[in-house]
Amino acid sequence: MSTSYIVVVKRDCPTCELVQPVLREIAASGAGLTVYTQDDPTFPDGIDAIDDRSLEHSWRLDIETVPTLIRLESGAESDRTIGWDRGEWSRVTGLGPLGPGLPDFQPGCGSKSVDPGMPEILEVAFGSPPLAARVIDVAAPEDEHELCFSRGWSDGLPVVPPTPVRVLRMLGGTTRDPQEVIGAIPPNHAPCTVEKVAINAVLAGCRPEYLPVVLAMVEAALEPEFAMHGLLCTTYFSSPMVVVNGPVARRIGMNSGVNALGQGNRANASIGRALQLLIRNVGGGVPGGIDRATLGWPGKYTLCFAEDESDPDWQPLGVERGVAPGRSAVTLFGGGGLSPNMDEGSRTPESLARSLAMTLNSVGHPKLVKSFDAFLVLSPEHWAIFKEGGWDKPRIKAELAAATARPGAELVRGANGVDAGVRPELVEDSMTKFREGGLNVVRAGGEAGLMSAVIGGWAASGARGTIPVTKEVGT
């Protein structure tokens, strides 16, 4: 059985500089010694080293720290040690005390093969990355961003080209198998793998740590009760709205405060956009094709935000919908436009509830009831009025439902000279705006401003269309 040794070093490492005489000792002993140098082919001095500036050998040897000493028995690794430790180097080599005059111990440095972003580059270059998607070669003169536009992969805004390295980095955000099939993406019902989700997350500008949220969002969208196909195909304005709850929102830096429903936060913007791009690129849901929205709305680019959970007296949406406290969740809602309520005069919960009900009654059409679900996004200053009055979330929802009740005589077709409305036989009834469970309330927004927002749902909300779906965020 033959014994030999491998040492991996780089000049830009004080410990590698320190062990140069030890390497010469090992070479002079007649032991088979191979030295790979990561950054300078003339280093170490007096040693005929192999140039590993490509880092292929370092990657194949799984080097994390330099110097690394590896013992081989008949070509197979039997032992290794990292950094400089006189006792360990002597034990691994069996050559007795080494490095007279050197300190007994000195830690090593990080290998260039584990620099940020480098492991994925090396896996793509030298390994077999677990990617199944077809690779499209881009000619040197061609602009990769323009290629994405020309192939229809964009929602009209620039996207991040999904190179194998970027996709591999994105997949590092989850422990799930890249080839796991999550489901069939409408409208074409194309099979969707974790890898395809990662590709579209790259296109959208996500970071790898967002991927578990994106995966939970996609799973929610594919639940039958969410009716993603119908939401996409309708002529109405609607598109998925995403609300994120729990520790993950804070961990990835989502915005629940100032301008929470607007631009400026990467996680908010890119997570919601990833779903829209996935529907387009995997499912074939292209505007003007199967997407028949008469007008659409900006939320069809992205509408994603975190709920403000800073007040312990408030029950977060995820918890309300069955996710354990302290866990992270994503809720999808078929949103169809935003209506502001700027009430700077109400100072009692009763007045504010009646005021908000006026805006809620306008969802879809003021004379239509039980057709549209809605989300009320309650600002901190409006929430403070309810809280000071002793109202919690269940009380707020109950009072809002009661405040939306109106007599059928105001709602039937032809009433007030408007032909739209409910059936004439309902003229004697009193009706609330929303079906039971159709009104949801969350908190978000900046500390200043006595205003809240109503986000109306699709015209086919409820049992005959879409209902909100909540999924716990995994890993």
Q: Report the C-alpha gap between 180 and 187 in whole angstroms.
A: 20
User: How far is it between the farthest Cα atoms of the chain?
Assistant: 104
Of 174, 169, 161, 170, nearest to 198 (Cα)?
170
| Mean pLDDT, residues 150-175 | 96
State the pLDDT at residue 38.
Answer: 98
Q: Who contacts 85 (Cβ-Cβ below 8 Å, separation ≥6)?
A: 104, 105
H-only helix segments in 194-262 = 194-204, 211-221, 228-233, 247-251
The vertex-175 CA angle with 171 and 177, nearest 5°, equals: 75
CA torsion, ordered 391, 395, 397, 398, to nearest 10 deg: -140
At residue 57, what are phi and psi to the nearest 5 degrees? -65, -40
pLDDT above 90 for 309: yes
- Contact predicate 185/278, CB 8 Å: yes
pLDDT above 90 for 465: no
Of 449, 400, 387, nearest to 262 (Cα)?
449
Structure tokens at 445: 């927004």
Strand partners for 37: 9, 51
pLDDT above 80 for 464: no
pLDDT digits over 395-442, tens only? 999 999 999 999 989 999 999 999 999 999 888 889 999 999 999 999
At residue 121, what are phi and psi to the nearest 5 degrees? -60, -45
Q: Report the C-alpha gap between 199 and 150 in whole angstroms.
A: 17
Strand partners for 181: 193
- Residue 1: pLDDT band (50, 70, 90) is low
| Mean pLDDT, residues 369-381 | 95
How many Cβ atoms are within 10 Å of 461's Cβ, its own excluded? Answer: 27
State the pLDDT at residue 307.
Answer: 98
Q: Report the C-alpha gap between 115 and 12 in whole angstroms.
A: 13
Q: Who contacts 57 (Cβ-Cβ below 8 Å, separation ≥6)?
A: 8, 36, 50
Q: Which residue bears the tokens 């991040």?
A: 160
Write out the H or E segment, with its range, that includes residue 378.
Answer: strand 374-378
Which structural domains are found in the chain, ordered by start? 3-113 (3.40.30.10), 232-262+272-472 (no CATH)
The terminus-to-terminus CA distance of the chain in angstroms comes to: 45
State the pLDDT at residue 355.
Answer: 98
- Contact predicate 415/406, CB 8 Å: no
| Mean pLDDT, residues 88-101 | 92
| Mean pLDDT, residues 102-122 | 96
Q: Which residue bears the tokens 């949220």?
A: 213
